[in-house]
Amino acid sequence: MQEQLNAIIASVRDQAPKINTRADFESFKATISGPKGSLTSVMKLMGQVPKEDKPAMGKCINEAKTVIVAELDAVLERIEQAELAAKLGPAIDPSLPGVDPNRGILHPIAQVREEMVHLFQRIGFSVAEATEVDTEHFCFDALNIPADHPARDMQDSYYLPHERSVGNVQKNADEKYLLRTHTSTVQIRTMLKEKPPIRIIAPGRCFRRDTPDATHSANFHQIEGLYVDRDVSLLDLKATLDHFVKTIFGSKAKTRLRPSFFPFTEPSFEMDFYSPDLGKLSNKWLEIMGCGMVDPEVFKSVGIDPKAYTGFAFGMGIERIAMILQGVDDIRYYYQNDVRFLKQFA
Ligand code: DAH
């Protein structure tokens, strides 16, 4: 009997390495321990063994069984490992950087806004903000914009219904709320809060009832600048804006101030610039902002003494700068959220 058991063990050891699937394993196992299996038939012989030999035989069978079960368990374990490995696929190195599906970027308008903000921060301007909903007073009156100015027309601006209340923006009973038409509101709100010297830039969203076309959008962005101190001169304005243009558009860029009119600056200018490195737009004067020396009437509206202080202000559209820098010829691309467009600025 011991010989038969040894033979079974030998055949298990011989076959084990060749068994690679669960099905093969099950059928092989059946040939050992199934109803007609070799081990089962040896165990059946126990019935015929004389009583006194039974303990010794039983011991032999149990020992053989332990060996066989261990061999079969090892085979099953190997098969399970292989199945798991097949499920997991090829080995990976988890320390490698992952596949990047589509990393987000700042919107191209925000990219240009950040560049402009950082540039002014480096020369001592800090960022000021105010609400997008404001009152007629802050959008117009305090900026010396007269009642008959076209910007105040219902058709030019977005007014809110009379009954609407905006908790964090105070207004007089007889005036209306509107979506600010420019960031110049921030000049007034800052001068009411802070004493000179004041040196701020105010990036933000503005709204006008423009019919959208390649260069107009009802929603757009501006950056406002304001510098108020003793003895601020036109030279300071020119030098600051020259620095801005040369930093953004390259050191070969040139600027010029053209006389213009804004109710809140006197004198007022449009600033143009010209650069040899702008592709299709090279060597043409391009208008990029309005600017001027703060009008004494504006100082009076915020309680700053115009005899003691002077200041300059400027305001420009961020989209305009972005379009020139990024070679975009239609402002509407910026608002369509077309990933094919946006991806180009990654
Ligand atoms: N607020 C003006 C506009 O939206 C732009 C502007 C012009 C701003 C001259 C200024 C300035 O601060 O001094 O058209």
pLDDT tens-digit readout, 23-57: 999 999 999 999 999 999 888 888 888 888 888 88
Q: What is the pLDDT at residue 92?
A: 85
Report the separation in Å between the CA atom of 130 and the middle of ligand 1, taken as the mean of its atom positions: 16
pLDDT, mean of residues 5-32: 92
Task: Label residue 58 by pLDDT band (50, 70, 90).
Answer: confident
Report the alpha-carbon distance of residue 34 to residue 45 in Å, rounded: 15
Sign of CA dihedral 30, 34, 37, 39: positive
Question: Per residue in 176-195, is it b (16+ CB within 10 Å) or e — as a string?
Answer: bbbbbbbbbbbbbbbbeeee
334, two tokens = 């910026």
State if residue 224 touches ligand 1 by the CB under 6 angstroms criterion.
Answer: yes
- List, as one string, the DSSP characters of 176-234: -EEE-SSTTHHHHHHHHH-PSSEEEEEEEEEE--PPPBTTB-SEEEEEEEEEEETT--H
- The whole model's pTM is what? 0.74
State if residue 248 touches ligand 1 by the CB under 6 angstroms criterion.
Answer: no
Residue nearest to atom 2 of ligand 1 (CA): 315
Query: 105 and 346 in contact (C-beta within 8 Å)?
Result: yes
Report the separation in Å between the CA atom of 303 and the middle of ligand 1, taken as the mean of its atom positions: 21
Question: Per residue in 101-119, is it b (16+ CB within 10 Å) or e — as a string?
Answer: eeeeeeebbeebbeebbee
Q: What is the pLDDT at residue 29?
A: 93
Q: Are strands 286-294 and 310-317 parallel, antiparallel or unpaired?
A: antiparallel
pLDDT, mean of residues 69-82: 93
User: Closest ligand 1 atom to the C-alpha of 181?
Assistant: 4
Q: What is the pLDDT at residue 82?
A: 92
State if residue 311 touches ligand 1 by the CB under 6 angstroms criterion.
Answer: no
**pLDDT surpassing 90 at residue 214:** yes
State if residue 184 touches ligand 1 by the CB under 6 angstroms criterion.
Answer: yes
**Which of these, 23, 263, 45, 288, lies nearest to 152 by C-alpha position?**
263
**pLDDT surpassing 90 at residue 152:** no
Highest-confidence segment of 32-41, 220-229, 272-281: 220-229
Mutate to test the pocket of ligand 1, among 314, 316, 319 (most ligand atoms within 8 A of CB): 314
State if residue 198 touches ligand 1 by the CB under 6 angstroms criterion.
Answer: no
Q: How many CB atoms lie within 10 A of CB 200?
A: 20
Report the alpha-carbon distance of residue 274 to residue 269 in Å, rounded: 16
Q: Which helix (H) or strand (E) holds 317?
A: strand 310-317
pLDDT digits (tens, 9 = 90+) for 163-195: 788 888 998 888 899 999 999 999 999 999 999
Q: What is the pLDDT at residue 299?
A: 97
Report the separation in Å between the CA atom of 314 and the middle of ligand 1, taken as the mean of its atom positions: 6
285, two tokens = 């004067």
Task: Label residue 103 by pLDDT band (50, 70, 90).
Answer: confident
**pLDDT surpassing 80 at residue 101:** no
State if residue 182 touches ligand 1 by the CB under 6 angstroms criterion.
Answer: yes
